[in-house]
Structure 1
Amino acid sequence: MPHTIRRFIGDAVLQRDRIGESPCRVHSFERGNELYFLKTSPSVYANTTYSVQREASVMQWLSGKLNVPEVVLTAQEDGHEHMITRAIPGVPLSSLIEAGRPVTTLFHEALRQLQSISIASCPFDASAAIRLRELAYLVGNELIDEDYDFCAWPGLATPQDLLARLKATMPDEDLVFSHGDLGDSNIFVTNNDELYFIDLGRGGKADRWLDIAFVHRNLREDVSDNAAAQFLAALGVQDATTKRLFFEQLDELF
C-alpha cells in the first residue's frame, strides 16, 4: 500500500465491504469521528471503467455539479490504484425498497439531476463504442463476470456471441451525462430527500437510455413489473425498447 495511503489510515481497522460485483476491493475505516472508504483496483483494469483513478477523476469533475463523495487521496503503486473517499450521508434506495417504501419519484429525480449536467466540457466518454472496446478487452483477457446468463436472449451462447450482437446493434446515441451504473445501491437519500451518488467509475457521456434501462431493470426485478412500467410512463416520452435491450445486454458481462 502506498505510503500516503498508509499514513492517512494510520492505526484504523479496515473493514471489508463485500457489497458489489466489481473486481475492486472496498474497505471502510474510521479516522477521528469520520467514516472513510478505501477502494483499490488492479492495474489490469487501468484502461477500463473499473479503474478507481478514473472514478476519482469523474467525481472530482462532478464536484459542485452533483452530490458525490469527496476524494481525499489517490495513489498508484505495485500494480494497483488506490482511492480514499469520505463517506456520504443518507441510506441507499435499496433499503427503502426492502422496507416497501416507494422510490420511483427518487429515481426520476436522480435521472433529472444527472441529465441536467452539461456535457459541453465533459472529458469522460462512456459512449457505446468506448464501452464495446472495453468489453472486447475484458473478453479477450478473460476478465469478464463468469456468472452471466443468456437465457433471456435466444441465439447467444458465448461472450463472443454477445459482443458480436452488440457491435451489430449499436444504437444512434442521444448523449447526456450518465452515471453508467444507476441502481438502488448507488443512490443514497437523506432524511430530507437529498440525493447522493456513489460508484461513478462508468460516468461520462453516454446515451440517455443507459441509465433509464438500468433503473427499469432494477424496478422490474426488485419491486414489480407494474412499478417498472409506471416509471417508464412517467418519463413522458416513447419507450426506446431496443436501446433498453442493448444496454441490458451490454451490462451482462460486467
Structure 2
Amino acid sequence: MSIFREDQPPSAGALDARLAGYRFERDALGRSAASVFRLEALGLPTLYLKVENVGHFAEIADEAARLRWLKASGLTCPDVIAEDSDGVRNRLLISALPGSDLASASVLTPPARAELLAAALLDLHCLPIASCPFDHRLERRIAAAKARMQAGIVDETDFDETRLGKSAEALFAELESGRPGHEDLVVTHGDACLPNFIASEDGFSGYLDCSRLGVADRYQDIALACRSIAYNFGEALVQSFLDRYGMSATDPARLDYYQLLDEFF
C-alpha cells in the first residue's frame, strides 16, 4: 500500500515506537475533523491514528476520555492505545473495529442498518446519566456554538439545504429564541450520524467519533440520526428507525432545533 508523502502523519515522538513497521493510508473514518490514518502491517493489528492541530477547539483529548469512559461502561468502542501532543499537534492511536460504518456497510440492508443504529442508541441512552461526567446540556452547547461562531469556524457553506444562504449570526439568533423549555436527558453520542457507528455481518461493532458524547436531550441524537437516515436511505426508513427505537411519534420542533444546533459543529 503506497501513499504520497503529504499523507504521512506528523511525528511527535511519544507514539513513534508503537507506529514502527506500519504503513499509513488516509482514511475517511467517521466524521472526525481530525486527519485520520489507517495503519496496517503484516502480523500486526490494524490501528487508526488521529491527528489534529492544537487549539481551543481541539477534540482529541475529549475523545480519548470519552472512549475510556464508554469502554468502562460496558459498551463497544475502539481501545485507546496511546495519545500524545508536541504542543503543535495532538495524536490519538486507537484500535480498529470489525466491519464498516453504517452508511457503507453493504453486507447489511439499509433497513437492517437503520435498526442497528436504533439499537445502538437505545443501549447508549440507557446508561445512567449520574455516571456520566460529560455535560452537553443546552446551556453548554449553546455557549460552545457561540464561541465557534465568534471564532469564525462555522462553515456557512455546509449548512443544510433549508438554511443555505443564511449567516451563522442569523442561525444563532434562531438557536437562542427557539430554545426548548425542557430537556429529556440521557447519555448521548452527540453526532449520531450513520458513519459514526460500525457494524459487520455479525452485527453492531461499536461507536466511533465520540468526542461530543455527553449528557444531553435524547433529541440531540434522534434529530441527527433521522437526518442521516433520510439522506442515506430515504425518508421511508426514518419511521422504521423510530419504531425500533420506541419513539413512534416525534416533536418536529425539537428535531429541527437540534439539527439547527448541529450547524455550528
**Which residue matches 1:221?**
231
Q: How does 1:135-154 map to 2 (within 5 A)?
A: 135-149=145-159, 151-153=161-163
Q: How does 1:164-203 map to 2 (within 5 A)?
A: 164-171=173-180, 172-203=182-213
Task: Please point out which of 40, 53, 60 is paired with 1:52.
Answer: 60
| Structure 1 moving runs of 4+ over 6 Å | none
Aligned: 1:244 with 2:252: no
Aligned: 1:92 with 2:101: yes
**Which residue matches 2:172?**
163
Q: How does 1:101-116 map to 2 (within 5 A)?
A: 101-102=110-111, 103-116=113-126
Q: CA deviation at 1:157?
A: 2.2
Identity, % of aligned pairs?
26
Q: Is there any run of 5+ residues in structure 2 with no aligned partner, and where?
A: 1-10
Q: CA deviation at 1:21?
A: 5.1
Aligned: 1:62 with 2:70: yes
Q: Is there any run of 5+ residues in structure 1 with no aligned partner, and where?
A: none
Aligned equivalents of 1:56, 1:145: Cα separation in 2? 25
Aligned equivalents of 1:20, 1:191: Cα separation in 2? 19
**Which residue matches 2:80?**
71
Summarize deviations over 1:86-137 as a string: whole Å, max 9, x none.
1111222112469754223212211111111112121111222212211212
Is the CA contact 1:148–1:253 (under 8 Å) kept in the aligned structure 2?
no
* Structure 1 residues 231 and 20: CA distance shift in structure 2, 3 A: closer
**Which residue matches 1:82?**
91
- TM value normalised by structure 2: 0.86
Aligned equivalents of 2:107, 2:200: Cα separation in 1? 16
Matching residue's letter, 1:214: L
* Structure 1 residues 193 and 19: CA distance shift in structure 2, 3 A: closer
Q: How many residues align?
A: 250
Matching residue's letter, 2:46: L
Residue 152 of structure 1 aligns to a residue whose secondary structure is helix
Q: CA deviation at 1:231?
A: 2.5
Q: CA deviation at 1:61?
A: 0.7
Summarize deviations over 1:30-82 as a string: whole Å, max 9, x none.
2542111111222224xx4x510100000001114210100000112132221
**Which residue matches 1:33?**
44
- TM value normalised by structure 1: 0.89
Aligned equivalents of 1:22, 1:198: Cα separation in 2? 9
Is the CA contact 1:209–1:240 (under 8 Å) kept in the aligned structure 2?
no
CA RMSD of aligned residues (A): 2.2
| More off after superposition, 13-22 vs 218-227 | 13-22
* Structure 1 residues 164 and 175: CA distance shift in structure 2, 3 A: same
Is the CA contact 1:51–1:81 (under 8 Å) kept in the aligned structure 2?
no
Q: CA deviation at 1:167?
A: 1.6
Is the CA contact 1:14–1:27 (under 8 Å) kept in the aligned structure 2?
yes
| More off after superposition, 35-44 vs 198-207 | 35-44
Aligned: 1:206 with 2:216: yes
